[in-house]
Chain A
Amino acid sequence: MIQTNLLAWLLRAVQFGTIIIFGSLGEILTEKSGNLNLGVPGIMYLGSFAGFASAYLYENSAANPIPIVCVLLALIAGFLAAALGGLIYSFLTITLRANQNVTGLALTTFGMGVANFFGGFLLQGEVYTAAPISNAAFAHKIPFLSDRLGVVGEALFSYGFLAYAAILLAVGMHIFLNKTRAGLNLRAVGENPATADAAGISVTKYKYLATVIGAGISGIGGLYYVLDYNNGIWATTGQVEALGWLAVALVIFTTWKPLNAIWGAYLFGTLYWLYNFFPKLLGMTNVDRTSDLFQMIPYLVTILVLVIVSLRRKRESQPPASLGLAYFREER
């Protein structure tokens, strides 16, 4: 009994973590270019809606929907829609030099509106609607490994492929940022755009690319939420917004290091699901009242991390120096 509960908790935590790994990896890439994009919740909404809608429409229009096509369509549509959100943000903040925080907040409102408004057309009056074939494709466990190796196999191999892709992406981004020329240039742009500019790096190009691609990556998190984590069910929801803010929080938690996002996200997932599993493990009843307090814990932990990071003032764990500032060559 305890073992089943623990295992279920772990599975939920990793799945939850996968959503915000994508969300925060995208935002890390964006912030490394000096752009603080508070539009992550909106971008994740765009990704989740476009991903779901394309899969759903394909499933319902094709006679024999092919799972792999569902996956590809959803991924491409989700990435592109989210990247488009990032492009709006980039145009306003980089080219037109609007304030980043305010633009981000407006993008969050806009993304939430677009997803839930057009999502309403898919619902056709129902409370929710589903894309079962796509869900099965996205949530497909790794065959053989997940059911033949006992508890360990089940704990390690029973996630959809995006959970593993998230880990690979984190490693890839770590290598990109620390071991490649382009990554170095990007960090230079985020730390000191004037110097980067003088060194012949195109600040605008790097900022645009990092922000747009970052937004696309964040969008995959939203797509994973609806097509895997939420069992392929679309409903009008405010849930993605809360997830988006947690992804932003996770960026701070990782101190802008992609590898930390992996364990940080799973920790957040564990804490998030604490409300459901912890009282069960203790055999507590009357769970519905305490659960509200348990759900507070991820946010309290983030606050704690913020405070600790600021108290320690370690050089390696600071945000990119020009984060939040627009760059204008003539203002140097």
Chain B
Amino acid sequence: MNEQPAAKTVSRAHREPLVRIAMRDTVSFGKKAAVRAAAIGAALILDAIFIVIVTRLNPIAVYKEIVLASFGTPLRFMWMVRDLAALLCIGIALAPAFKMRFWNIGAEGQVLMGGMATAMCMLFLGSKLPTPLLFLVMVLTSLLAGALWSFIPAFFKAFWNTNETLFTLMMNYVAIQIVAYATNIWRGQASSLGMINMGTKAGWFPKLFGYDFSLNIIIVVVLTVLMYIYLRFTKHGYEISVVGESERTARYAGIDVKKVTIRTLLLSGAICGLCGFIIVAGNKHTISTNTAGGDGFTAIIVAWLAKFNTFYMALISFLLIFLEKGAGQIASTYGLNEYISDIISGIILFCILGSEFFIRYKMIFRHKSEEGKEGEDK
């Protein structure tokens, strides 16, 4: 849709309207970057106004808190990167599905199922298998669990065009109830499941380079590069983008749309499952209905805003996690509740979403000549 040449704008009314809107032909990288930077700047100002009104602090102090929350100590920095990695990983998983215009809103459930598979292996095989084999089984089962959870809606979409947005959404709640049921049984008499294998640490990610979460980060960095290559330079990636642009074109070009749909969603779900594995084995060491914690939804926005470019996704994930950490810090310092971060993310997302308009379209005011405006854009 974005790549279409600008249609001729015809003004039908006798009196020209004050503003007309037309599509831009091409937009330079610098202009895109400037619009996005302006959107983020506007969002940061709006967020600051909001925080200042609520907390009655001086804005400089607020920004200092926000920055310190992510960069104040090495440990905080690692936590920030760990959470960034988790969000980015789900975004990477969703990118192929969304590029194909398959609305996989079910990442939350797919991550949960992957995480549950991992937790199950840790619980029941943790003391029985040697570490390398245990990890292999954990990875495989979580990949399978995630893939199964996306395969079901993909199958119905491919063969009967069943609405995938709502199907995947409902699958989230099925997954949540399954996890609730399983943890209820596993916890026995305890009030919650607690960390699994607390003593033996079987199935926990090892420390690398002296930090707890190095392995999480390494896996996600590798995935970022691989997914970029997969979408950009492989035949599969090409097929995905053709199906996403137009199913009819894809069929005409001899692409088996059903096969591509199911294959892509198996991949998407499997990576979500892997993300569940990373969260459970590499971070939380337990499973609960909150393990995915809404990241499955946020990741959709991340993938979409980055236009499925995994490196942009890393940037947007950073921005969101940075603000989330900052908001959390402000909340705990000033005795507010943590939902402040949802408001702050909401504002920034609205601003970025709205700013896309100024990249795709131009506004032509009544008394300005059109030629002059176009010349300025190019």
Contact = CB atoms under 8 A, between A and B. Distances in A.
B23 A331 contact: yes
A110 B103 CA distance: 21
A88 interface: yes
A319 to B, nearest CB: 8
A107 B346 contact: yes
Interface string A136-165: 000000000000000000000000000000
B7 A330 contact: yes
A109 B340 contact: no
Nearest to A123: B337
Interface stretch (A16-24, A57-65, A68-76, A295-303): A295-303
Contacts of A296: 173-174, 177-178
B160 interface: yes
Interface in A90-108: 91-92, 95-99, 101-103, 105-108
Contact of B173 (A120, A299, A306): A299
Interface stretch (A1-9, A172-180, A214-222, A285-293): A285-293
Contacts of B6: 330
Contacts of A252: 163, 166
A112 B163 CA distance: 26
B162 A106 contact: no
Contact of B21 (A88, A91, A117, A330): A330
A101 B294 CA distance: 16
Given A98-B353, A112-B339, A331-B23, A292 B177 contact: yes
A48 B337 CA distance: 18
Nearest to A91: B354
A246 B352 CA distance: 28
A98 B103 contact: no
Contacts of B344: 113
A303 B165 CA distance: 11
Interface stretch (B82-90, B124-132, B298-306): B298-306
Interface stretch (B66-74, B179-187, B203-211, B225-233): B179-187
A118 to B, nearest CB: 9
B167 A101 contact: no
Interface in B341-356: 341-347, 349-350, 353-354, 356
B22 interface: yes
Interface string A214-237: 000000000000000000000010
Interface string A115-135: 111001000000000000000
B171 interface: yes
Contacts of A115: 339
A293 B173 contact: no
B22 to A, nearest CB: 6
Interface in B1-58: 1, 4, 6-10, 21-23
B339 A120 contact: yes
A101 B297 contact: no
Contacts of A170: none
A109 B108 CA distance: 14
B340 to A, nearest CB: 5
B230 to A, nearest CB: 23
Contact of B350 (A106, A302, A309, A310): A106
B23 A310 contact: no
A117 B103 contact: no
Interface string A249-269: 100100000000000000000
A289 B357 contact: no
A186 to B, nearest CB: 22
A310 B177 contact: no
A114 interface: yes
A311 interface: yes
B184 A292 contact: yes
A88 B304 CA distance: 19
A56 interface: no
The binding surface of chain A is classed by DSSP as helix
B342 A112 contact: yes
B353 A103 contact: yes
A107 B167 CA distance: 20
Nearest to B341: A113
B353 A249 contact: no
A306 B166 contact: yes
A310 B159 CA distance: 10
Contact of B167 (A113, A288, A306, A328): A306
A292 B180 contact: yes
B320 to A, nearest CB: 10
A37 B297 CA distance: 15
A105 B103 CA distance: 12
B7 A303 contact: no
A109 B342 contact: yes
Nearest to B12: A329
B185 A117 contact: no
Contacts of A99: 304, 353
Contacts of B22: 330
Given A96-B357, A110-B342, A101 B177 contact: no
A245 interface: yes
Contact of A106 (B7, B166, B353, B356): B353
Contacts of A120: 336-337, 339
Contacts of B336: 117, 120
A284 interface: no
Contacts of B21: 328, 330
Given A96-B353, A96-B354, A299-B170, 13 more contacts: A38-B165, A114-B346, A115-B339, A120-B336, A120-B337, A236-B339, A248-B169, A249-B169, A293-B181, A303-B174, A307-B162, A310-B160, A319-B163
14 contacts: A92-B353, A97-B357, A98-B353, A101-B103, A109-B345, A116-B337, A116-B339, A117-B342, A120-B336, A245-B173, A300-B174, A306-B167, A328-B23, A331-B4
